[in-house]
Copies of this chain bind each other. A is one copy, B any other.
Amino acid sequence: MTGKKDATSHEHSACPMDSLLKLLMGPWTTYILWLLRSQGPQRFGELKAGMPGISSKVLTERLRMLEGANLIHRDYKPTVPPAVTYSLTPRGAELKDVLLGLNELAQRWHAEDMRMEA
């Protein structure tokens, strides 16, 4: 994906960044990745509890999508009741710097906003 000065820059369909941004665009996606990164492998119910407002339906769908994109791994144990644990794949784990960077910014901006208020 080159700068706008390049006449061919409108042919973005195969642009890697375009694909990744589209992948992360869905609701709760980055949130899921952050939870798995910061809190480690988690069960379905734990993830759901960590994201107030998300429905089982959407969590399921997001997790399937991320699994399909090879960013997370789903470990299903056929117990009763079933025990399904989700974790980051090696590829998913490569998002570490990005996620930690976001966290740092979040904390810095929060601190700045607190100072502005006082």
A binding-site residues for B, Cβ under 8 Å: 1, 3-4, 10, 12, 16-17, 19-21, 24-25, 27-28, 30-31, 34, 38-40, 42, 46, 49-50, 52, 91, 94-95, 97-98, 101-103, 105-110
Q: When chains A and B are docked, how far (Å) is the Cα of A46 from the Cα of B3?
A: 12
Classify the interface of chain A: helix, strand, loop or mixed: helix
In the complex, what residues of B have CB within 8 A of residue A110's CB? Answer: 16, 19
Q: Name 19 A/B residue pairs within 8 A (Cβ), A-sorted.
A: A4-B39, A4-B50, A10-B50, A12-B52, A16-B106, A16-B109, A16-B110, A17-B102, A17-B106, A17-B107, A19-B106, A20-B102, A20-B109, A24-B102, A25-B28, A25-B31, A97-B101, A98-B101, A101-B101
